[in-house]
Structure 1
Amino acid sequence: MILVGRVEGELAGMRLDDGAKVLFPQLSKGEIRRIIDWGGCYLSEVLVRVASRTLKEGDEIALGIMEGGRCVDLVYRKEDLLYEDQDFLAVYKAVGVNSQRTPYQLKGTVEYAVECYMRSIGLKDPSRVVHRLDKGTSGVMFFPKNKQAATMLSALLKDGKVDKTYWALVAGSPDQQNWKVDAPIGKLGKFKYGVAHNGKPAKTVFYVIGEGAGVTAIEAKPLTGRTHQIRVHLAHSGFPIIGDEAYGGSPASRMMLHCRKMRFKGPRGNFIEAVAPVDREFAEAAPEIVER
């Protein structure tokens, strides 16, 4: 939800948090300051994170109201990283966390947490999101530490030269132990995609890696990088991901899709790789067939 108000009359000259309190009396001063601190406040379409900013006549204040569960301060320390060298670092993205900043959230995103870590080790470059995971997907995310590394990784991703391995849990038992889906993907709605004749080319290879108690663990290797590709291609195969109700999956505590590994050749010819463990919910959904 977004609240919008305009500064008029006696509000001009007030502090941002005081003026916002007058415009939006349903919010406490503490809630307003939290929104400002978390990057959810825009003053005349400019992000402002200083509660003491002086208001001017005609300023427009926009506040983005987030669910309480999203206000979780995410911090990465050196010991938390999955991989790090002079050019790249890899982190674990948890379920429910946004990969990158949104118009009304900065803190609590992977992008912001990585930038804070980079600042802590003396780097001045911004965190650059060159690939992302859906909010409901967990696993490996790589970040370049400099512009040259960003250009390189972006090119590798575009050319399909980054080996990405995902794990997914589905209900039932596929007839084949491995298969390939070569079906174009197009946008069907604001947040939904599907196989479409006029869509963009998309290819995914699937392997069965374990079965038990009516659940099958699938290893997916996307050969292209379309939005929701694995989710769409598994649903197209008749096996929507457990927890992915948008594509016909059965209800679960989370969407059972996890980016297990990413691997690519680095600038000095060495192979760079990061592997992410699955979380408790994922492991408990298939305890006999999934290793953390």
Structure 2
Amino acid sequence: MKNDIQHKVRFLTVDADLAGQRIDNFLRTQLKGVPKSMIYRILRKGEVRVNKGRVKPDYKLQPEDMVRIPPVRVSEQKDTPNPKLDKVAELENCILFEDERLLVINKPSGTAVHGGSGLSFGLIEGLRALRPDAHFMELVHRLDRDTSGCILIAKKRSALRHLHAQLRTGQMDKRYHALVAGQWPTNRFKVKAPLQKNVLQSGERLVSVSESGKPSETRYRILQQFNGATLVEASPITGRTHQIRVHCLHAGHPIACDNKYGDTAFDEQMKNYGLRRLFLHAASIQFIHPGTEEQVRFQAPLDTQLTQTLKQLNESI
């Protein structure tokens, strides 16, 4: 939708790549800037038709479905940030790989994957602004706001399904680098501890080890030992919220500058080395490319702050 006001009824034929998508999600991509409440209202009133019939919001589109999209009036398209904004434009420099099916991004620390919670936009909104002609763009998985590194974005629904299947079956290999407090034991190669997610009244999510939680496992490898700290490689076998952070804490070695699960004294020491952010970085990701069916691997370099912190720790040994 190029203009803020869409005057005419549109009829769209669903191609095979969009098959399986819910009609409400399809409308959100077609009616950018239109509030969700309005999308559900036009569905409820029968203004949206599929093959000339009414449908519910959870209807899944089929190949060759004919979708009627009514005229919708919106005052201003607020949810897509201007590509000229510095922070959005900088995302162009974060692209590690791009083709017609996917994007691999080295996400900066401090950038949320989604807008909301007082944020005007997140990574996905920024990328949609950079690629306004992309008909489909969705997160394959998530990273915490303060975690940097490799994250996958699907540019086709078929690619999203392919990559999600790999996540479910454990075919995707993700490796993180974390700086943790103390000396990680040389004989500790994994942490298996069930994790329970709790949502506070403020909306903040906190995760704890609990017997009633979901089974969770992270594997570890020591990369480098420093005075009072260790750089480890963490490989999550399961994909729970805050998993690596809580498993490090559970092992007695919290991650540096973790404002939820960290150690204040250790964080103060690391600040002396110039660290001002969570030292957790998605360093590499390996998966089967949904187009070529070949194994591919991408690596994301550490940002300047993490690199400088490690350099100063090395010099202090």
Aligned residues: 229
User: Which consecutive residues of structure 1, in runs of 5 or more, have no partner in the other structure?
Assistant: 1-40, 54-70
Question: Are 1:227 and 2:238 matched, yes or no?
Answer: no
Q: Secondary structure at the match of 1:247?
A: coil
Q: 1:43 deviation in Å?
A: 7.8
User: How far is 1:156 from its partner?
Assistant: 1.2
The 3-state SS of whatever aligns with 1:246 is: coil
Distance 1:184 1:72, change over 3 A: farther
Does 2:289 correspond to 1:275? Answer: no
In the TM superposition, 1:1-292 aligns within 5 A as 50=75, 73-75=87-89, 80-102=94-116, 104-107=118-121, 109-119=122-132, 122-125=133-136, 127-176=137-186, 178-190=188-200, 191-249=205-263, 250-251=266-267, 252=271, 253-267=276-290, 268-287=292-311
Say what the alpha-carbon RMSD is for the aligned residues: 2.9
1:72 is displaced (CA, Å) by: 6.4
Label 1:79 to 1:244 Cα distance change in 2 as closer, same or farther (>3 A).
closer
Give unmatched runs, 5+ long, in structure 2. Answer: 1-32, 40-72, 79-84
Per-residue displacement from partner, 1:128-187 (whole Å, max 9, x unpaired)? 122111111111111111110011111211222110000000121122254111111112
2:311 partner amino acid: P
Aligned mates of 2:119, 2:75 — CA distance in 1: 15
Determine the C-alpha separation between the residues in 2 that align with 1:262 and 1:167. Answer: 12
Q: What residue identity is the alignment partner of 1:171?
A: A
Q: Which residue of 2 aligns with 1:27?
A: none
1:41-65 CA distances to partner (integer Å, 9 max, x unpaired)?
9989669984599xxxxxxxxxxxx
SS of residue paired to 2:244: helix
Cα 1:246–1:163 change in 2 (3 A) is same
Task: Return the offset for 1:114.
Answer: 1.6
Q: Secondary structure at the match of 1:113?
A: helix
> What TM-score, normalized by structure 2, do the two folds share?
0.65
Determine the C-alpha separation between the residues in 1 that align with 2:152 and 2:313: 27
TM-score normalised according to structure 1 size: 0.70
Which amino acid in 2 is paired with 1:113?
G
What percent identity do the matched residue pairs reach? 30
Cα separation, 1, equivalents of 2:217 and 2:183: 21
- Could you report, residue by residue, the CA deviation over 1:198-253 in whole angstroms, capped at 9, with x for unpaired residues? 11111110111001232210100000100000001110000000101311333341
